[in-house]
Amino acid sequence: TPDTYLQSFSDIEKLGLVSGDLASTLLVSAKLRNILVHEYDFEEDYERFYDSAKEIVPAYQQYIEAVLKYIS
């Protein structure tokens, strides 16, 4: 069982459930989640944060497809 969100995405790559590129994007999402949950100040780097967040939606669509394929 993974201890962190970051580790869970690393683990699914090791299992072959997702590609390395997808796992890397999902790792970014975990880092962004930590910024939001812990209310880190990201205003100075808002544009970079926003650009990273835009990439996450398609990554989660790919992730969902991979999970559905795995469980079917």
**Beta strand extents in the chain (DSSP E only):** none
On whether the CB atoms of residues 16 and 70 are closer than 8 A, the answer is no
Query: What is the residue-level pLDDT of the chain in tens, covering all 72 positions?
Result: 778 877 888 899 999 999 999 999 888 888 777 777 776 666 666 777 778 778 788 999 999 999 999 999
- Give the pLDDT confidence score for residue 41 in this predicted structure: 66
- Give the pLDDT confidence score for residue 72 in this predicted structure: 92
Spatial separation of the C-alpha atoms in residues 52 and 32, rounded to whole Å: 8
- Give the pLDDT confidence score for residue 69 in this predicted structure: 93
- Give the pLDDT confidence score for residue 42 in this predicted structure: 61
